[in-house]
Amino acid sequence: MSELTELTAVRLLEGYRRGEFSPVEVTRAALERAEEIQPEVNAFVRLFAEDATARAAASEERWRRGAPCGLLDGVPVTVKDILLLRGAPTLKGSRTIDPAGPWDEDAPSVARLREHGAVFLGKTTTPEFGWKGVTDSPLSGITRNPHDPTRTAGGSSGGAAAAVALGAGPLALGTDGGGSVRIPAAFCGIFALKPTYGRVPLYPPSAFGTLAHVGPMTRDAADAALLMEVIGAPDSRDWSALAAASGSFRGELPGGVRGLRVAYSPSLGGQVAVRPEVAAAVRRAVERLAGLGAYVEETDPDLAEPVEAFHTLWFAGAARAAQHLSRDQRERLDPGLREICGAGARHSALDYLAAVDVRTDLGRRMGRFHDTYDLLVTPTLPITAFEAGAEVPKGSGHRRWTGWTPFTYPFNMTQQPAATVPVGTDADGLPIGLQLVAARHRDALVLRAAHTLYEAGVTAAVTPAGS
């Protein structure tokens, strides 16, 4: 049973087709794994054992008849507790939301999973309203790193990353407003993609506006491509959703990187102090890209530090999320969230529009950058996972989580597709991530380059001990 939890979604579907194992066997194994890891890692806010088993049994019957209902029939998935899932509370890590609901609607990405026969294992943990780059909340406590439980899993999709890393479902839905699928994926040693904004519809809309994306978190890039073909469908509830992609994400995976123009920025022009072990692992992977035929040039994008503009947009979004709360409810918020809500409420409309101007110019500059380069490669993060329960590493001097995530949040501002690929571990066995970024709408290119790294074996040796 433990071997089933180590298989990718692509491999599970192949096994269902061949009759090697069944959706019920796989779902039971995934549920057992989830229950096993929960006491130490705390990846879940709730599991759906009875419903998951019933959905798996229905899937098994469809496979027996040779009539699967979709691309993911019988595959276990988890859903971050930011996204609506019909019949289950979505509490967003907050004690201010009434569990009574009603909970009668799926988010668009969840609805697509349901249509394609996926098996929902459970809802995964998030910091309150997904506000920071680590995962702890007043509601569900601290989510820990699968490689070392004294360290953070990252955030805000930390539960999703830990679940995938430890075999509690090969596929997870996360959200990313400033790095929230890429940060925990890098810390936990898995793959994650923040798609182009609008590629995966979002409803209800995020209080953080067009910074927020829905993205796949998976064991590899091939699984993410498969998941994108399901969740990347338009939904009328999201007025900003894109039309369906013209090609196949899976079909473009084998294209390789030969001839691609790759810009490698190890530290954003010296703006970021990157830990030597992280820098070395990323450089080795970049050299592998060059060996596979990419034209690599060490150069930096014109990314003048946009953190103040991001803070204006982010803090204002937090204030909006909490605007309806009573004074008593505000007292029950995560103290850090309460602090940024106060800062956001003090911004004027002109402050907000000035930040939008910074964002617009950043997007223009990155658009011009990608006229020259197909891909930008950076470290996903300058560090590996630090102590659990803290927003910033001890002694770092950072005030907010954006201080240690300089490679991730700018690409939420520009709405570009960006993925993280595990490329090794540090001396403590903690994963290191490499980030791939492309121009808007070139999600398939990001997936293709990531898949090439997986096929080349660059991503080996990041499995948690004992998983």
319: Cβ contacts below 8 Å, ≥ 6 apart: 340, 341, 342, 343, 344, 345, 347
Tell me: the pLDDT tens digits for 227-255? Answer: 999 999 999 999 999 999 999 999 999 99
Dist CA 442 CA 230 (whole Å): 17
Q: Which of 59, 80, 92, 137 is catalytic?
A: 80
Amino acid at 104: D
CA Rg value for the chain: 20
Amino acid at 187: F
Give catalytic status of residue 132 as yes or no. no
415: Cβ contacts below 8 Å, ≥ 6 apart: 196, 197, 198, 210, 363, 440
Work out the average pLDDT over 102-128: 98
pLDDT at res. 460 = 61
**Does the pLDDT value for residue 2 go beyond 80?**
no
- What value does the mean pLDDT of the chain take? 97
pLDDT at res. 464 = 77
Give catalytic status of residue 180 as yes or no. yes
% residues pLDDT > 90 (the chain)? 96
225: Cβ contacts below 8 Å, ≥ 6 apart: 249, 250, 252, 253, 444, 447, 451
Domain map (residue ranges) of the chain: 2-455
Amino acid at 262: V
**Are 131 and 138 a contacting pair, CB within 8 Å?**
no
Dist CA 131 CA 294 (whole Å): 37
Tell me: the pLDDT tens digits for 145-163? Answer: 999 999 999 999 999 999 9
**Are 448 and 259 a contacting pair, CB within 8 Å?**
no
Longest dimension (CA), the chain: 61
Stated length of the chain: 467
CA distances from 150 to 40, 386, 388 (A): 10, 8, 6
% residues pLDDT > 70 (the chain)? 98
Q: Which of 180, 194, 206, 265 is catalytic?
A: 180
Q: What is the pTM of this model?
A: 0.97
**Other Cβ atoms closer than 10 A to 119:** 30
Architecture label for domain 2-455 = Alpha-Beta Complex (3.90)
pLDDT at res. 12 = 98
Q: Which of 22, 137, 140, 156 is catalytic?
A: 156
Strands 76-80 and 144-145, by their bridges, are unpaired
pLDDT at res. 459 = 79
Dist CA 284 CA 277 (whole Å): 11
**Are 385 and 393 a contacting pair, CB within 8 Å?**
no
Work out the average pLDDT over 434-453: 98
Amino acid at 346: R
The long-range contacts involving 315-319, CB below 8 angstroms and separated by at least 24 positions, are: 315/340, 315/341, 315/343, 315/344, 315/347, 316/344, 316/347, 316/352, 317/177, 317/206, 317/207, 317/208, 317/209, 317/211, 317/344, 318/129, 318/131, 318/207, 318/208, 318/344, 319/343, 319/344, 319/345, 319/347
